[in-house]
Chains A and B, each alone.
Chain A
């Protein structure tokens, strides 16, 4: 079943342009208005059970798109269908079926223990008290919240709070969960825990995940599909597995010699270099890798040699630097 379908979705904002000088009669009477096109005609479809990473650099239009999908912002043009509803017209009804976690915005009451917020959310989502107690118990157990439920939120660590936030967002059993930077500011261990919990919830078929994050780890560990948006348009839409494979076609070869060595490889520039070490990027195909290793070994006694896949993060960063779909296609198919 299709859970999200957008057609030609666009959003533009009018921004008043500041003029020089403390008082400007012209800016008062005829202010200069600039139209900012945050999202320009997005077409996308997400099926039930998918886990989708919605990626893009700052200002690409991803949060604006998510907020239109949740009914918070009104599109300038185009259509959105989320779980069979028009999010703007049926915002309240849709609210019962979707959940959202915004890493930088808490839905828990700061001075109260999470239990109070859970009770309030239960009432907001019209869950029967007995059913609410049952669901709360399940989530407390699954997310390991038993010791946290009666401590005021302000006394919880960020990781503990985010665990409570995510559990709270699942209380009404949403079919679609929007996650906006859910692991921002968390340490490595807590990030892994959060990702594992969300992945488990998604794989059990309980929820479709639509995630935005600048953390490539979230994408790799949690999502099976990546959509990249830049300048308000979709540049790329493909599986995370395939993106990783493409990133892996470029290798990082590191070499360290036992003593300072002139590391000169004709036709190949080192990315990093010290007197006794260097790092090269090379394509794994067409014998380039073999050639490079052979030539490096021939330069002198090698203390260490490493060959790694190029991180997915590098490919994503390169994609962010492209300006059009054609350039992005060219980059991933290089």
Chain B
């Protein structure tokens, strides 16, 4: 078996098994889908109130703002929240049992999370699409947007995984690290998830583009609702740069942190 085939089988199988494990109990997933639907419904109502008497705000009409939120939250919900389980595994030493196997630990985890993201988006998109269409009319989406949007979605899910992994890996040094994730999730909610970056004061918007936060939700949501090819590719370029940078950071943290692995009760 050549090197590439071996790696493809190794990480492809780990993604496949994670998907099968997730869908063994589809009912477990229902709660998340309902939560997402509720968020979308509430925000659609908020935008109706915010837009009363206005046709648009900084270039976004009500339909665009509603669909922006639906797509931004689609990325958040589909790529999942694995900070807690990742950090817990490190804290209680369970991560150690994975280390004795011949795979790259971060790559193995990444394959599983991406496998899940690639299937989980379907029920979220279905419920979000239904509520969005009912509350704000259909999403205006052209065929030209699709490949860029898909690429942007994959990069967003990757960046989301890597940022959460970096935060979770602080558990190698700290007993309590949940504050980091709390701060991250709140900042990213404000900087690109609840509303487009253009809604922020201009200096803040410009500064935000130098941080990784908007590259998780703002970029795919912006590409979906406000298609400008040149700007879209520039934003995707930013996503690539941040994904590489955070990926290198995650690898560095892991290689240092793994030396700090302790096994409680061992």
Q: Does B49 contact A (CB under 8 A)?
A: no
Instruction: Return 27 A-B CB contacts under 8 Å, by A number.
Output: A63-B263, A63-B266, A67-B263, A67-B266, A72-B96, A72-B100, A72-B263, A73-B96, A73-B262, A92-B102, A96-B102, A100-B100, A105-B97, A109-B17, A111-B21, A111-B24, A112-B17, A120-B13, A120-B17, A123-B12, A123-B13, A124-B13, A124-B101, A124-B102, A125-B102, A126-B10, A128-B1
Enumerate chain B residues within 8 angstroms of A110, measured Cβ to Cβ.
21
Q: Within the complex, which residue of B6, B100, B104 is in contact with A71, where a contact is CB–CB below 8 Å?
A: B100
Given known contacts A73-B263, A117-B17, A120-B17, is B24 in contact with A152 (CB within 8 Å)?
Answer: yes
Q: Does A98 contact B (CB under 8 A)?
A: yes
In A77-136, which residues have CB < 8 Å from any B CB? 91-93, 95-96, 98, 100, 102, 105, 107, 109-112, 116-117, 119-120, 122-126, 128
Check A64 against B266 for contact (C-beta < 8 Å): yes
In B5-43, which residues have CB < 8 Å from any A CB? 6, 9-10, 12-14, 16-17, 20-21, 24-25
With both beta carbons as reference points, the residue of chain B lying nearest to A107 in the complex is identified as B97
B1, B20, B94, B100 interface centre (most CB from chain A within 10 Å): B100
A70, A93, A112, A123 interface centre (most CB from chain B within 10 Å): A123
Check A92 against B17 for contact (C-beta < 8 Å): no
Given known contacts A64-B266, A126-B6, is B21 in contact with A72 (CB within 8 Å)?
Answer: no
Q: Does A74 contact B (CB under 8 A)?
A: yes
CA distance A152 to B102 in the complex (A): 25
Q: Within the complex, which residue of A91, A92, A102, A122 is in contact with B97, where a contact is CB–CB below 8 Å?
A: A102
Check A95 against B101 for contact (C-beta < 8 Å): yes
With both beta carbons as reference points, the residue of chain A lying nearest to B12 in the complex is identified as A123
With both beta carbons as reference points, the residue of chain A lying nearest to B13 in the complex is identified as A123
Enumerate chain B residues within 8 angstroms of A109, measured Cβ to Cβ.
17, 20-21
In A273-300, which residues have CB < 8 Å from any B CB? none
What 5 A-B pairs are tightest by C-beta distance, nearest first? A95-B102, A123-B13, A63-B266, A111-B24, A72-B96
CA distance A287 to B175 in the complex (A): 62
CA distance A161 to B102 in the complex (A): 23
Check B25 against A111 for contact (C-beta < 8 Å): yes
Q: Within the complex, which residue of A64, A91, A116 is in contact with B99, where a contact is CB–CB below 8 Å?
A: A91
Check B100 against A95 for contact (C-beta < 8 Å): yes
With both beta carbons as reference points, the residue of chain A lying nearest to B95 in the complex is identified as A72
Enumerate chain A residues within 8 angstroms of B210, measured Cβ to Cβ.
none
Interface contacts beyond A72-B96, A109-B17, A123-B10: sample of 20 additional A-B pairs, CB < 8 Å, sorted by A: A64-B263, A71-B99, A71-B100, A72-B100, A72-B261, A73-B263, A91-B100, A95-B101, A100-B100, A102-B97, A112-B17, A120-B14, A120-B16, A123-B9, A123-B12, A124-B14, A124-B103, A126-B1, A126-B6, A126-B102
Q: Does B259 contact A (CB under 8 A)?
A: yes
